[in-house]
Structure 1
């Protein structure tokens, strides 16, 4: 759980305080503290001696986002569109993080070493959670994603840049896997053999969403790109979802990527880091709660083809992530951060076992989709 908890302030790091001052020169800096559990960008919460006590300061990881200026352009386009929608429809309660301008009017600041910094407003009296707490929380996670998709459903994808080209394009990940396997020989272990056989047995279904897109059965829409449970802000009092954060991956894509990834994140009660592989299961009750929340708004913009490919998305996204983890393991752990040499192998096993559980429950999941639509 990432709580917004105020602790005794310490003397702020002078370099961080200097960077924070570029965005709020008018207010004394009380504290600059690491914030959240993200593993891509460096994120800090800045405490001010002012009426608006906090804002978020981030250094964008330019090894992942090669053109961070496009992220800022997307964020400006997206936040203005949502603000206009909220104002036009008099929708209260939903909040959108806003960009704070640096001195000179730029939406970012570049430090002496080339670090790319941006600042956004902080949403007070709310928090995120690293796992689903109960079915009400699951419902709010689904509602948040549905709300997000609804608010940007009329935003033209041509106005958004693709900041992570190839992200969630499963056939591309499979091609990379084949290239890596041609150059590296993985250890002769039972778990490795399981992964090799599992990937081979699913090869024909990897392109299901991309084929549907190519056949114009599914269309590009704006998506969040990383709709994990810990990117949903929950109000401390109402316990309702009030925002989605971590907007760097907003880009054109299939809403199915978001729906499948959200359910992958929520419906594995043991979490992504478990090593109790035989106990991994896809929780249908959580799935029901998330989909109920999502479809309360999703019914407005989903069509027949969208529904027809929902199960495929639910099955594909955990397989895709498992494929990426296993590929990285074979390649020598060059992309994902690891704590031990077989960490990515364990992560891959979790996702493949989750995929197996989804496949065993295909009839029930399809029936659930039909019931809720």
Structure 2
């Protein structure tokens, strides 16, 4: 099992002694460890994947700046409770928040949030509701933070025009065999092109404001207490400027699919409107006056758009011979894309016209 070295540990915690380090395997990009010191205090040590993120020090400063801002919003709470509500980054003995090790890897450390739990999927509408409140609170509490202070961690991450450019090139370069197998999905993608670029156009025209956004709002990135109440938003690597619809739509995409993302029995893939309504209720309650009428109007389209962008990305990777996403078998990306397009069909049937 991979572990952390003594020099990494001591850089952040020179007065502590390393007792144990357990790798957490739920993440897909970074290496993460639950670390215990001799004082019995626990920490999360994270090695950032520099092959995915071009500016790791900038990424870490994004996280630190936003966490500092959120701590100021909770000064009414005792420190111990505040550290359960907001990620707390550990400053090294040199005063920095990251360590560049001898192998060229970047590390950062946060306090472990004690007495917490998370969920890989939603199986109860109350969790959807609490998740909505938690991510809505994140948007509300950062609305007075200038997003211009943040770097763009992954350029064009949710840029639909960019994703269509990638798709167009993949379509041009793909084999006839793969194009034929994906023919129906290609036709669906092209038919939705105009509708799926509407949010981007509104953003570019200034009709929807740029905010601090999380950009990875799956339910497993929310911590809950043991009563199922929302505690803390985690995994903030992708914090950057964006529009609220990216966060809302990505959460809905992952919460409201009744099947796993690569389920091949499409009869099992449906859009759970009860979870949508519960998440939206919690989200709006937390946002309060922080959300405009224009933003609210396009929440349903945001959900459809974020489902579509993943359908398009899986399809693009299939046409590119599976060069981006890890696959377990030759048609894996095609099946993932079919899954997301089926979810769009189910969304349309229960939500009706949303643009």
- 1:69 counterpart = 2:64: no
1:167 match: secondary structure: coil
> How many residues are aligned here?
353
Q: Distance in 1 between matches of 2:205 and 2:179?
A: 40
- 1:172 counterpart = 2:162: yes
> Among 168, 181, 202, which residue is 2:192 paired with?
202
Question: Residue 307 of structure 1 aligns with which residue?
Answer: 296
> Among 99, 107, 111, which residue is 1:117 paired with?
107
- The answer (yes or no) to whether the contact 2:178–2:319 under 8 Å persists in 1 is no
1:144 match: secondary structure: helix
- 1:49 counterpart = 2:33: no
1:142 match: secondary structure: helix
- 1:99 counterpart = 2:89: yes
1:87 match: secondary structure: coil
- The answer (yes or no) to whether the contact 2:100–2:107 under 8 Å persists in 1 is yes
2:20 match: secondary structure: strand
Residues 220-279 of structure 1, C-alpha deviation per residue, up to 9 Å, x if partnerless? 01111100010010112x320100100011111000000010000100121212111132
Q: Distance in 2 between matches of 1:50 and 1:131?
A: 34
Q: What is the TM-score with the length of structure 1 in the denominator?
A: 0.89
- The answer (yes or no) to whether the contact 2:264–2:335 under 8 Å persists in 1 is yes
- The answer (yes or no) to whether the contact 1:256–1:310 under 8 Å persists in 2 is yes
> Among 217, 233, 250, which residue is 1:261 paired with?
250
> Among 225, 241, 256, which residue is 1:235 paired with?
225
Q: Distance in 2 between matches of 1:363 and 1:321?
A: 21
> Among 183, 198, 214, which residue is 1:224 paired with?
214
Q: Distance in 2 between matches of 1:55 and 1:28?
A: 12
- The answer (yes or no) to whether the contact 2:171–2:179 under 8 Å persists in 1 is no
- The answer (yes or no) to whether the contact 2:156–2:162 under 8 Å persists in 1 is yes
Q: Distance in 1 between matches of 2:19 and 2:184?
A: 53
Q: Distance in 1 between matches of 2:131 and 2:144?
A: 22
Deviates more, 1:96-105 or 1:84-93: 84-93
**Aligned-pair RMSD on alpha carbons?**
2.1
Question: Residue 86 of structure 1 aligns with which residue?
Answer: 74
Question: Residue 141 of structure 2 aligns with which residue?
Answer: 151
Question: Residue 31 of structure 1 aligns with which residue?
Answer: 20
Deviates more, 1:186-195 or 1:19-28: 186-195
1:248 match: secondary structure: coil
Relative distance call for 1:365 and 1:188 in structure 2 (3 A) is: closer
Relative distance call for 1:276 and 1:95 in structure 2 (3 A) is: same
Post-superposition offset of 1:209: 0.6
Residues 51-95 of structure 1, C-alpha deviation per residue, up to 9 Å, x if partnerless? 42x101111011111100111111121011111111169996661
Residues 3-30 of structure 1, C-alpha deviation per residue, up to 9 Å, x if partnerless? xxxxxxx9x95x5343223211212211
- 1:161 counterpart = 2:151: yes
Post-superposition offset of 1:103: 3.2
Q: Distance in 1 between matches of 2:178 and 2:223?
A: 44
- 1:348 counterpart = 2:337: yes
Post-superposition offset of 1:362: 2.5
Post-superposition offset of 1:186: 5.1
What are the residue-to-residue correspondences of 1:292-331 with 2, within 5 Å?
A: 292-331=281-320
- The answer (yes or no) to whether the contact 1:131–1:230 under 8 Å persists in 2 is yes
